[in-house]
Amino acid sequence: EAGVAQSPRYKIIEKRQSVAFWCNPISGHATLYWYQQILGQGPKLLIQFQNNGVVDDSQLPKDRFSAERLKGVDSTLKIQPAKLEDSAVYLCASSPGGSNQPQHFGDGTRLSIL
């Protein structure tokens, strides 16, 4: 089966600019996750979708980050405006359901803020 697809792989922007990331999960996977992984740390969950509904966005900085999964398939994560501390790898993951199932990660988008 095809894995989780993410684009772009790399993005360099200046602070205060906007950026968007795209994720296409494994076909049939109901649950989609966006993680932020800062260098040297473990992934931190930003938002979790179950189909097109938000299950957990408690760690999403809502003043600048937004995410949507309108049709319950692919998803976009946006940052507006970006800050220097947003430099990180943004990982998308999916799982078949929400309960006790492995998460399959994409290759991520490496974001650098100048």
Partner 1 sequence: GQQVMQIPQYQHVQEGEDFTTYCNSSTTLSNIQWYKQRPGGHPVFLIQLVKSGEVKKQKRLTFQFGEAKKNSSLHITATQTTDVGTYFCAPRRGSTLGRLYFGRGTQLTVWP
Q: Would you say 66 or 103 has its CB closer to partner 1?
A: 103
Buried b (16+ CB within 10 A) or exposed e, 31-65: bbbbbbbeeeeebebbbbbbeeeeeebeebeeeeb
* 3-class DSSP state of 86: helix
> Which candidate, 92, 85, 93, places its Cα nearest to that of 111?
85
Distance of closest approach, residue 27 Cβ to partner 1, in angstroms? 18
Binding status of residue 62 toward partner 1 by CB under 8 A: no
User: Token pair of 110, please?
Assistant: 């490496």
**Total number of residues shown for the chain:** 114
CB of 55 to partner 1, least distance (A): 6
50 binds partner 1 (CB under 8 A): yes
To the nearest whole angstrom, how small is the minimum distance from the Cβ of residue 88 to partner 1?
Answer: 13
Q: Does residue 52 touch partner 1 according to CB under 8 A?
A: no
Applying CB under 8 A, the residues found at the interface with partner 1 are 35, 40-45, 48, 50, 55-56, 91, 93, 98-100, 102-108
